[in-house]
Structure 1
Amino acid sequence: MEKLIADINAIVWSNALIILCLGTGVYFSVRTGFLQVRYFKEMIRLLFNNTSSANGISSFQAFAVAIAGRVGTGNIAGVATAIAMGGPGAIFWMWMIAFLGSASAFMEATLGQIYKEVKDGQYRGGPAFYIEKGLGVKWYAVVFAVATIVSMVVLLPGVQSNSIALGITKAFAIPPAITGGAVTLALGLIIFGGVKRIGKVAEVLVPFMAGAYILMAVIIIFMNIGQVPEVFSLIIRSAFNLEPAFAGVFGMAVSWGVKRGIYSNEAGQGTAPHAAAAAEVSHPVKQGLVQAFSVYVDTLFVCTATAFMILFTGQYNVVNPAGGFLVEHLPGVPTGSEFTQQAVNTHFPALGGGFVAIALLLFAFTTIMAYYYIAETNLSYLMRKGTNKWMLWGLRVLILGATFYGTIKTAESAWALGDIGVGVMAWLNIVAILLLQKPAMRALKDYQTQRKAGLDPVFNAEKLGIKNTEEWR
């Protein structure tokens, strides 16, 4: 079974997907005039729009839900894995996929807003909705919805809960089954409250967890401030095959940097449009820009914080594809969150393990919350006449079961299944947004025109000739 999973993973994450992700990011960056740079201040301004309604959550809550999905195990264990498999150069490629991917994130989030609809008294939207309404290809939309439900409910929760259990066991010697039971119970109390409760919990937890983690990283960076130029240089040299020690993993640096970058920030994967569609805004581009900024928060802030802590302290190993290790600073230590725990322990021996374990708990827990919301949205799409309550309960039981099971299975199988889920969704969604870029570009041009006229942009889909947009009439 493990070999089958590995073979499927290799097919899904072939070089073709790496090229597609990078190429799409470059294309949309150029197509939008590098909005990720030009509209940076606008992103921050829009972030704090707290207008909500009976049907929709606020922009900040939608941002928090999306960040809850983006900021998870990938920011701690995923960064460590990228360094272990691709060397320090993998971090540069994580930065690149974040910078370029923010343009892809803008496109998918804007499309999510354009084609949203009201179901069960709340805004719903995402790739399945815009594939059917924008492309008019129902079977493709159904395939995406089914693939997303399987990924969010079966394949991905185990990665998050497995990392929680490993971190808690390492720091506090609590058995994985006990951790799994506690996490599953807490998750159940939240997801049975619906999207409004998820939004409120995310709104509180996300700023706290990200802020505390970045603060710890900043402290460690200041304690090693003299090494900043050296670490930057090491990352850049390794990224372009100019560092002899890591010459043998240049291809792996690109592959794992992109792979773990997408796993972490989810740009182009098709997850964030679900949260984006739930927001109450006057123009779709507003939420598109907010979601583009969330990619920066995830990778350029949180992932970089992890990478710097690990590289400053030298607490990492780099695997040699030919066998053994190119660098082995931590003999016998498995690849993953333990690299980060060891890095923090270097400066704060009494605090490091526990701090990283709790950060991982919060990061991964909020991500599973977001997974449930995404799965529920796609179930809502499939049940067009109204979501069946028994199907909804089945969905909740399945994700709770997968979350618990993830705490007691091996990390290798958990990550392999998670990668398959991410890769399949990315393939389906990136192709869709490439085919459906015109409505998003019309919306961007309209937003720019209204802003230049000194207006607070208001979207009129009919005026722009965009069809099947009932909520914008």
Structure 2
Amino acid sequence: MNNIFNFINQFFALLAPITDAIWDFPTNIGWYKMIPILGQFSFPVLLLIGVGIYFTIRTRFIQRHSFGPAIKIMLARQPSQQGVSAIGSFMLGLAMRAGPGNIVGITGAISIGGPGALFWMWVAAFFGMASAFTESVLAQLFKEKKGDEFVGGLPFYGKRLLGNKRYVGLFLSCAFITYALFNIPAQTFNVFSAISSIAQAATGQHYSHQSTLYYTIAVILVVVCTFIIFGGIRRVVAYSDVLVPIKAVIFIGISIIIIVINFPLIPYFFREVVVGAFAPHAIFGGAIGTALAQGVKRGLMSNEAGQGTITMAAAIANNRHPCEQGLVQSFGVFFDTMVICTMTGFIVIMAHVWTGSVDGVMWESVRASKITLYLISVKTLVPTSLAKSVEIIMCACYGLFAFTTLLGMISFAEISANFISKKHGFIIVIRILGSLVFVPFGILTILAGLELGNLWYISDLMNIIMVYINIPLLLLGLPFVLKALADYRKNKVTAFNSEEYGFTTECWDGKDNGT
């Protein structure tokens, strides 16, 4: 067993320099780094911000339509029993978006780039809403039927946009399945971290990775995941419809209470965020590029805009018009970043642990562990008598964030796999890989004593690979999106017919209006 653990550690260690090199390119090249201002920004940051701005301009600021209309769409009655409802698709998408990154990712970005990183997350999210709209409309336009369900997403629209070649879709499907499955270990780690933190807070005892508690969590996690995943997409949506609102309401509610308790610190929060965006503290490197890079990078990891990941959730929805799902998923980016991530930002920044003003807390000693830094920030802002209870509640939310993301990863891998084959036997193989291979693999990483930082490397690597795959496809598909958007703005109540705009689709051919 020790040999297996050592292999796992070595595997993840090898990814660290590769991931850093890709994310930092070309700031790791001497001549580029010497360019004033521009030299501080890596290519992924420029790409994501640039594409988001471009889509915003071309859609004429579609973000302004992503609030009231999106909520009305989610509350409207489903057109037919085929597929899942708009709100069900939204909840499944939010299950992925509202993950542990909303806590540890945002905390990490602030701990490295300072409070100003939150400002750049807001900026990235605003433009990311246009990217989310674009990819979600593409997913709706080129979705396909599978019995009483819809399937689609990145592999499906990628195939259509690149000459309708099946091998293109096969490559994209395999790439996405790899992305989803290799993100599972990090989410498994987060589930364990949350439950062990709850147990430690409740009992005051420290539990080792080889303890009975960890093995008990392992068995329960595998059984529950297998039960839900093997029930198919509809069962996953049914559970996400319950778990996602619970985790969001509790997390936001407790966060608001903490903020209200510390009301006098609110002006401090906004001052630190705005000033830190352009003049970061020396302790965070003192460079605007650090804050911006961390804000955009972790914003991407959190809201998923531009990666193509949420396209699986967008495709399975039953909408009256393809642009409806675009508005719904665009609103999802807003809700994830501007609401949930901002709640984390409020707590970490208002606690200002890095200033050394918190008694008994050494900044450098807690900076490495993002969940520890977050929990210390929480306890700093609440009365001592409530600290333990609030810590347990927030850890429970953290665990739910991780668990729903875990379910989303496996489900999206299954949806993507339908491009390769829609046969039940093949889909069962994907479910087995997710719940009975990669979840146990994630458990092994925990028993091996891996730190979360090591697991982030593979998540970061797979995320940026998906960005580089998906962004060119979005640029190619933009003309189709703009045609659908023009139709929606002109004829909101009229069924969309793709043939009127010079292209054919399986679900929007004017015969059954996508339903």
- Does the C-alpha gap of structure 1 residues 404 and 35 become closer, same or farther in structure 2, counting only changes over 3 Å? same
Q: Scaled by the length of structure 1, what TM-score is found?
A: 0.91
5 Å-filtered alignment, 1:324-403, equals 329=363, 331-332=365-366, 334-346=368-380, 347=382, 348-383=386-421, 388=426, 391-396=429-434, 397-403=436-442
Give the residue type in structure 2 aligned to 1:105. A
Q: Is the 8 A contact 1:180 1:403 kept in 2?
A: no
2:136 to 101, 109, 115: 109
Q: Does 2:179 correspond to 1:142?
A: no
Query: Partner of 1:462: helix, strand, or coil?
Result: helix
| C-alpha deviation, 1:334, in angstroms | 3.5
C-alpha distance in 2 between matches for 1:252 and 1:178? 41
| C-alpha deviation, 1:353, in angstroms | 2.4
1:100 to 119, 124, 127: 127
Q: What do residues 295-320 of structure 1 show as CA deviations (whole Å, max 9, x unaligned)?
A: 011111000001101111224589xx
Give the residue type in structure 1 aligned to 2:170. V
C-alpha distance in 1 between matches for 2:445 and 2:486? 45
Query: Partner of 1:118: helix, strand, or coil?
Result: strand
| C-alpha deviation, 1:71, in angstroms | 0.5
Equivalent residue, structure 1, for 2:192: 165
Equivalent residue, structure 2, for 1:6: 16
5 Å-filtered alignment, 1:35-184, equals 35-51=62-78, 53-119=80-146, 121-136=148-163, 137-153=165-181, 155-173=182-200, 175-184=213-222
Give the residue type in structure 1 aligned to 2:439. L
| C-alpha deviation, 1:158, in angstroms | 1.6
| C-alpha deviation, 1:104, in angstroms | 0.2
Q: Is the 8 A contact 2:185 2:439 kept in 1?
A: no
| C-alpha deviation, 1:245, in angstroms | 5.2
| C-alpha deviation, 1:249, in angstroms | 4.5
Q: Is the 8 A contact 1:284 1:443 kept in 2?
A: yes
| C-alpha deviation, 1:329, in angstroms | 3.5
5 Å-filtered alignment, 1:66-465, equals 66-119=93-146, 121-136=148-163, 137-153=165-181, 155-173=182-200, 175-241=213-279, 243=281, 246=284, 248-315=286-353, 329=363, 331-332=365-366, 334-346=368-380, 347=382, 348-383=386-421, 388=426, 391-396=429-434, 397-408=436-447, 409-451=450-492, 456-465=493-502
| C-alpha deviation, 1:465, in angstroms | 1.6
- Does the C-alpha gap of structure 1 residues 249 and 140 become closer, same or farther in structure 2, counting only changes over 3 Å? farther
C-alpha distance in 2 between matches for 1:146 and 1:388? 13
Q: Is the 8 A contact 2:161 2:476 kept in 1?
A: no
| C-alpha deviation, 1:143, in angstroms | 2.5
C-alpha distance in 2 between matches for 1:39 and 1:359? 26
- Does the C-alpha gap of structure 1 residues 315 and 189 become closer, same or farther in structure 2, counting only changes over 3 Å? farther
Query: Partner of 1:271: helix, strand, or coil?
Result: coil
C-alpha distance in 1 between matches for 2:491 and 2:240? 32
| C-alpha deviation, 1:138, in angstroms | 4.0
Q: Is the 8 A contact 1:234 1:243 kept in 2?
A: no
| C-alpha deviation, 1:276, in angstroms | 0.8
Q: Is the 8 A contact 1:50 1:60 kept in 2?
A: no
- Does the C-alpha gap of structure 1 residues 28 and 44 become closer, same or farther in structure 2, counting only changes over 3 Å? same
| C-alpha deviation, 1:232, in angstroms | 0.9
| C-alpha deviation, 1:42, in angstroms | 1.2
Q: What is the number of residues matched between the two proteins?
A: 460
Equivalent residue, structure 1, for 2:504: 467
| C-alpha deviation, 1:399, in angstroms | 3.3
| C-alpha deviation, 1:135, in angstroms | 2.9
Q: Structure 1 residues 330-339 or 429-438, which shifts more? A: 330-339
Q: Structure 1 residues 52-61 or 288-297, which shifts more? A: 52-61
Q: Is the 8 A contact 2:66 2:328 kept in 1?
A: no
| C-alpha deviation, 1:362, in angstroms | 0.7
C-alpha distance in 2 between matches for 1:50 and 1:407? 44
- Does the C-alpha gap of structure 1 residues 39 and 365 become closer, same or farther in structure 2, counting only changes over 3 Å? closer
- Does the C-alpha gap of structure 1 residues 224 and 88 become closer, same or farther in structure 2, counting only changes over 3 Å? same
Give the residue type in structure 1 aligned to 2:179. S
C-alpha distance in 1 between matches for 2:305 and 2:427? 32
C-alpha distance in 1 between matches for 2:268 and 2:494? 46
| C-alpha deviation, 1:333, in angstroms | 5.8
- Does the C-alpha gap of structure 1 residues 59 and 332 become closer, same or farther in structure 2, counting only changes over 3 Å? closer
Q: Scaled by the length of structure 2, what TM-score is found?
A: 0.84
Give the residue type in structure 1 aligned to 2:444. Y
Query: Partner of 2:150: helix, strand, or coil?
Result: strand
Q: Is the 8 A contact 2:13 2:454 kept in 1?
A: no
Q: Is the 8 A contact 1:315 1:330 kept in 2?
A: no
Q: Is the 8 A contact 1:94 1:257 kept in 2?
A: yes
Q: Is the 8 A contact 2:94 2:336 kept in 1?
A: yes
C-alpha distance in 2 between matches for 1:242 and 1:253? 7
Q: Is the 8 A contact 1:90 1:257 kept in 2?
A: yes
C-alpha distance in 1 between matches for 2:429 and 2:282? 55
Q: What do residues 168-198 of structure 1 show as CA deviations (whole Å, max 9, x unaligned)?
A: 2233135444333322221111001000001
Q: Is the 8 A contact 2:116 2:280 kept in 1?
A: no
| C-alpha deviation, 1:390, in angstroms | 5.3
Greater radius of gyration (CA): 2
C-alpha distance in 2 between matches for 1:95 and 1:181? 39
| C-alpha deviation, 1:134, in angstroms | 3.0
Q: Is the 8 A contact 1:345 1:351 kept in 2?
A: no
Considering only aligned residues, what root-mean-square deviation do their CA atoms show, in Å? 2.2
Query: Partner of 1:102: helix, strand, or coil?
Result: helix
Q: Structure 1 residues 391-400 or 231-240, which shifts more? A: 391-400
